[in-house]
């Protein structure tokens, strides 16, 4: 349970493409809670580093970039990613590219960067409550969260979802290439030394394979006692 005097926290962890972004936004809106897209912090660090000319093997430079991030999240209609503001600049589209996602995964394995972003993430926990989306929210960032969800789906289902999103956006991609990339990212995230991707011991695992978004939301609402 959440510590006394603290705002309640619901963590939603899981691999890329499982539907965490949509679900956490819908859940935050439904409950009137604040929203944290922790994965965006690593994407923002990657983007900020790129803009500042900091190389991805420059650990000290990346730590400095992470330590001065100015970010806010704004919920959007279902099916759209949360609006992300960096120093007041809308960078939602820039951080959602495949390249930025890959760079973020590289940044996220650096322990000193993770340390720099840890307190920044915890600072999002304010009244009336927080819904936190990520890969280690329930295991590392908010280990005392009131409710912990681990949302997953098969790699094939996640590749198909991403393929449809990109095709709808007019981006011509190979679903085989997407599947390969997703599997590679899963392997990297699950086997990294720092905070590997895994369900917290007390998390409720929900598999979204073959389910519509409203069905998934229903399962999550039931899991947090709001059905």
The residue extents of the domains of the chain are 9-217
**SS3 call for 33:** coil
Handedness of CA 106, 95, 30, 211 (dihedral sign): negative
Burial 109-145 (b: 16+ CB within 10 A, else e): bbeebbebbbebbeebbeeebbbbbbbbbbbbbbeeb
Lowest mean pLDDT among 21-30, 71-80, 123-132, 139-148: 71-80
Q: Are 131 and 27 in contact (CB under 8 A)?
A: yes
pLDDT at 79 over 70: no
Per-residue model confidence as pLDDT tens digits over 182-223:
999 899 889 988 788 999 999 999 999 999 989 999 999 999
In three-state secondary structure terms, 173 is: coil
Q: Residue 5: is its pLDDT beyond 70? A: no
* Residue 70 pLDDT greater than 60, yes or no: yes
Split at pLDDT 50, 70, 90, the class of 227 is low
- The topology (CATH level 3) of 9-217 is Rossmann fold (3.40.50)
Residues 88 and 3 sit within 8 Å (Cβ to Cβ): no
- The answer on pLDDT for 3 being more than 70 is no
pLDDT digits (tens, 9 = 90+) for 16-48: 889 998 899 999 989 999 999 888 999 999 999
């Amino acid at each position: 349970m959440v510590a006394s005097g603290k705002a309640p926290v619901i963590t939603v962890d899981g691999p890329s493409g499982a539907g965490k972004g949509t679900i956490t936004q819908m859940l935050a809106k439904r409950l009137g809670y604040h929203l944290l897209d922790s994965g965006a912090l690593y994407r923002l660090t990657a983007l900020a580093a790129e803009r500042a000319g900091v190389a991805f093997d420059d650990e000290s430079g990346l730590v400095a970039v992470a330590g001065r991030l100015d970010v806010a999240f704004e919920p959007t209609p279902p099916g759209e990613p949360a609006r992300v503001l960096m120093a007041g600049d809308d960078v939602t589209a820039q951080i959602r590219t495949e390249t930025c996602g890959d760079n973020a995964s590289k940044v996220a394995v650096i322990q000193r960067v993770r340390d720099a972003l840890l307190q920044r993430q915890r600072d999002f926990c304010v009244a009336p409550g927080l819904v936190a989306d990520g890969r280690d929210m329930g295991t590392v960032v908010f280990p005392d969260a009131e409710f912990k969800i681990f949302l997953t789906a098969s790699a094939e289902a996640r590749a198909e979802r991403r393929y449809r999103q990109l095709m709808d956006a007019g981006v011509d991609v190979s679903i085989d290439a997407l599947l390969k990339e997703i599997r590679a990212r899963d392997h990297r995230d699950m086997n990294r030394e720092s905070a590997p991707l895994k369900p917290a011991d007390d998390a409720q695992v929900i598999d979204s394979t073959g389910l519509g978004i409203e069905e998934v939301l229903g399962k999550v609402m039931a899991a947090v006692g709001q059905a």
